[in-house]
């Protein structure tokens, strides 16, 4: 017996539409997590560039004085508060400075590899 005036959805149609809706919601959620990770990495990279520029300007002004050495030690101790697990290698030969900063991204929850991020910079202010 067929009813031509049937109204509404059958249970199978409802389950299929809910499955398609759930897949769409999961895709949007995944995009949100990815954008959060990329935003955090960009923020940390910006902080790293600012810290590198700050250190290089200090070196340019103070050079090899005791004031620079004390300030560098203090800056190095405060750096992990701004960049998680940050390590820095700074070397200077005359007017050429090399700066290598490595830190761990905040979003390791969404990046299981937890690859550290690097910033390598070299400045020659001799000329």
CB 76 within 8 A of CB 88: yes
pLDDT in tens, 7-33: 767 888 889 999 999 999 999 998 888
pLDDT in tens, 25-79: 999 998 888 888 788 778 888 888 888 888 877 877 777 677 778 888 888 888 8
Q: What is the pTM of this model?
A: 0.64
Q: Where exactly are the structural domains of the chain?
A: 11-124
Angstrom distance (rounded) from CA 85 to CA 61: 28
């Amino acid at each position: 017996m067929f009813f031509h005036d049937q109204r509404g959805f059958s249970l199978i149609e409802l389950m299929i539409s809910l499955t398609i809706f759930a897949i769409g919601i999961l895709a949007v959620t995944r995009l949100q997590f990815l954008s959060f990770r990329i935003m955090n990495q960009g923020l940390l990279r910006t902080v790293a560039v600012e810290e590198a520029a700050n250190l290089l300007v200090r070196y340019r002004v103070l050079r090899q004085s005791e004031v620079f050495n004390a300030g560098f030690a203090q800056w190095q101790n405060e750096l992990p508060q701004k960049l998680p697990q940050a390590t820095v290698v700074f070397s200077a030969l005359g007017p050429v400075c090399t700066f290598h900063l490595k830190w761990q991204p905040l979003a390791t929850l969404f990046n299981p590899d937890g690859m550290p991020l690097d910033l390598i910079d070299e400045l020659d202010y001799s000329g």
